[in-house]
Structure 1
């Protein structure tokens, strides 16, 4: 992983546990797999503890790591660096995506509350006019507020499920679109299953939590965006390509919809793109995931997984080959 992250990912308590559990390669960590030092470490490594910035782990690298039995990723997705060859070798894989889901869900709830109260356009009006009597300048038909919201959750991913839990604090009615969730499971989650067209057409807020796969790319296309009612708030903390940026821009420029976008397509948007200037759009630089002191959760989870491995127990957060096609 990137050496500059090590103290954030493994705060003192987690680092101390790590040193008790394992014989660490020194100096720790590697940032590449090409040097003689990397060759020496790979030749005897039983576990690779990886993080942001990990180089590609493919068949050629695995040939240099004959003792490797596990990859524990102290970050979110493993799909960006881990080849299926690892699974073919029988290597077990774990990820800290569950820990990374916590701040994303918290950010999403904050975005829903602030967006539903139209805090972002009102803040711009307040700054420009220096008077709090700005509500009259907004279309009353587009006013939301948080009481009795219908929130459509697109994807019962780790993050989507946490968002569903957090939404209980505002007593929202939650619609869920996820083709992998059964009616019984939806009932357990306390949500109402809905077709995606129905969800976008009847929700006050649409929040996106699906992975970026060939099946989900462009799922919120021009037709579905047009189905959203005037005043609908779109929150995207998942991946930019899930939403048709051109179609969304048209509805945001007209003021028909509002949006909180932590991700876009492309990312970042070109300097002259109209979304930069719109009062009804709040853009953030892909920061919903773990930042600052939140990053330590990832390392703590990874050390927990290493402890399970050391004691012969299965991972609590495994990443299985069969699931790679439908997870982030």
Structure 2
């Protein structure tokens, strides 16, 4: 590379780099300029500061330390933060937007993985496949097992979705072809958008009272934190499936645990107040047969990971060529992000 080659700082841990960048993406990145890579398996704030010296763009992801609000003063050439994960709210301070640094992210590439996970959870609950399997494995009689596990069509259900962002809309696109009646709670979704998606707008309490399945996809904001509490959970009809693959902070976890323990509803939970989930967590209790738990796994597929990395390498190329970015985050978007 000559002296004029732009500097690109890769601010990824070794684990994240292997997860996000395949050989083709790395070759593409190297062709764009002088690429600086971390020399250790992990990365800290001092590493970030060193790697950013003279950099025009940087590639971030899971494990990248949050940026210092004064980063632009120390790194005046920095023009782009390309984040290979989802939300940038805890990574990029608002001041950096105000200082003119552009930000782009790969949240849209994660949506398909989460959406498939949500539909899989709904299908599992509607058909009870895991219960059929367990009872047969434990010696249940053929017809008795079939009679003991109710079978329901997902397409005949009313599904409530809270949040019409990237993931919420991806879930809608998968559910509508099943024939589900989909009710969406989101103040930013208007009637024309809802009609185009094949869904219906609803208020939170009305949706909770009608839905057979409820799936959360809202960001954690002051107005959404603990938005689902004991009062809201009490509105759910017996047998409703409550899915949370978004953020645990949206729900009063103690109230949710009480509802699960009552046996009145079912739940599928991928996020928790304490992660990793402690070994003695009550959600791990084998007696809670009406809850399915998973380790914050909904957004993680091999295909999505590489798509996230590739999307951000492409964004860096667009910036250096003076082309419009495809996944840019504006300052106005920051306050509404997950």
Q: CA deviation at 1:28?
A: 6.6
1:3 corresponds to 2:14: yes
**Length, aligned pairs only:** 323
TM-score between the two structures when normalised by the length of structure 2: 0.89
1:230 corresponds to 2:238: yes
Q: Which residue of 2 aligns with 1:146?
A: 154
Task: Check 1:298–1:28 CA distance in 2 against 1; reply closer, same or farther (3 A cut).
Answer: farther
Computed over aligned residues only, the root mean square deviation of the Cα atoms, in angstroms, reads: 2.0
Select which of 125, 129, 134 maps to 2:145.
Answer: 134
d(CA) in 2 for partners of 1:319 and 1:84?
11
- Residue pair 1:239, 1:263 contacting (<8 A) in 2 also: yes
Q: Which residue of 2 aligns with 1:256?
A: 264
d(CA) in 2 for partners of 1:27 and 1:73?
16
- Residue pair 1:222, 1:248 contacting (<8 A) in 2 also: yes
d(CA) in 1 for partners of 2:231 and 2:277?
22
- Residue pair 2:161, 2:168 contacting (<8 A) in 1 also: yes
Worse overlay, 90-99 or 239-248 = 239-248
1:275 corresponds to 2:283: yes
Deviations 1:227-278 (A, max 9, x none): 1111111111101121222222222222211111111223344434443221
1:301 corresponds to 2:300: no
- Residue pair 1:253, 1:274 contacting (<8 A) in 2 also: no
Q: CA deviation at 1:159?
A: 0.2
Q: CA deviation at 1:170?
A: 1.6
| Structure 1: gaps (5+ residues) | none
Secondary structure at the aligned position of 2:35 is classed as: coil
| Structure 2: gaps (5+ residues) | 1-11
d(CA) in 1 for partners of 2:107 and 2:272?
21
Query: Equivalences for 1:1-328 in 2 at 5 Å?
Result: 1-26=12-37, 31-35=43-47, 39-132=49-142, 133-138=144-149, 144-276=152-284, 277=286, 278-328=288-338
Q: CA deviation at 1:19?
A: 1.4
TM-score between the two structures when normalised by the length of structure 1: 0.91
Task: Check 1:260–1:226 CA distance in 2 against 1; reply closer, same or farther (3 A cut).
Answer: same
Deviations 1:155-183 (A, max 9, x none): 10100000000113322111100011111
